[in-house]
Structure 1
Amino acid sequence: MFWLAIDASAPAGHDKMERLTSVGDQRIMRKNVKKIGLGGAAVLGLLLAVPASPAFAIDQVACGQRDDFVKLEIALGGGLGTNRCFANAGVTAVDIDGVHTITSGNNKVTINWEYGGLYYTETLDPGFRISTNGSGETARVYEVRIW
């Protein structure tokens, strides 16, 4: 209310200086309220602008004797090998070199891999397996997605 600040006539019992001080206090209050309001709007805007991320619940698990997990069989060289297994729906980035066989277990799985500088994607239904058929060739798997 700017008109109060420049009004030369004071109501009865009040002097001009007292009115100007109260107007200044009102301006400071408005600025504070405005800052709080803008801060709240910014927080709300961030909450609305950042989409909810899907849950990435995929887990790397011990394979044991189970055949229901997604299994990557890995050649270590010299006739030695190991494996890595994954369970639960989700997606994970990995960097697993030396993979020669992929088994889907009881899952629908998409595997992204690199071989010879080219990138490939394969989706396997439950119970399927892909392999290099003992050729000794291996690939680097860089993503596992269980549907």
Structure 2
Amino acid sequence: MKRSTSRIAVTVMAAAALTALLPAFPAAAINQTDCGDRTDFVKVWYDGGAQTMCFANGGTVTLQLPDVTKVTSGDNNVAMFLGARAVTMNKWSTLVDTEGLNATLHALQIY
């Protein structure tokens, strides 16, 4: 019960911090999309790199993608909560987990 409560608290704090830290933009429809061969999408490698997920369009989404090993921003500016850290990425950037942190991606914003 205590662990579940702490996870909820972390998620709520992450969403509140994203809202406070990032500039306000009109609502947009961020969506998951097929990665294909495209490199302009935000691409997340998770589950130890065994799975990938891509996102397009501006907006914010809350997720629970475990053990993220790599994130590429494509042609997007990105902010996210990865583990307990708030991370921002400029266009065409790559973030790789070289420290074996096994962090969970809690929230992602494309702006």
After TM superposition, the score normalised by the length of structure 1 is: 0.54
For 1:131 and 1:97, the matched residues in 2 are separated by 14
CA contact under 8 A between 2:47 and 2:65: conserved in structure 1? no
Structure that is richer in helix per residue:
1
Structure with greater Cα Rg = 1
Q: Which runs of 4+ in 1 moved over 3 A?
A: none
Greater RCO (CA < 8 Å, at least 6 residues apart): 2
Q: Which runs of 5+ in 1 are unaligned?
A: 1-53
Q: Percent identity?
A: 31
For 1:71 and 1:138, the matched residues in 2 are separated by 17
For 1:62 and 1:138, the matched residues in 2 are separated by 24
Q: Report what 1:94 is aligned to.
A: 63
Q: Would you say 1:120 and 2:85 are equivalent positions?
A: yes
Q: CA RMSD in A?
A: 1.8
Other structure's SS at 1:99 match: coil
CA contact under 8 A between 1:110 and 1:146: conserved in structure 2? yes
Q: Which runs of 5+ in 2 are unaligned?
A: 1-25
Q: List aligned pairs for 1:45-124, cutoff 5 A.
A: 54-76=26-48, 81-114=50-83, 119-124=84-89
2:67 corresponds to which letter in structure 1? G
Other structure's SS at 2:38 match: coil
Q: Which moved more, 1:135-144 or 1:88-97?
A: 135-144
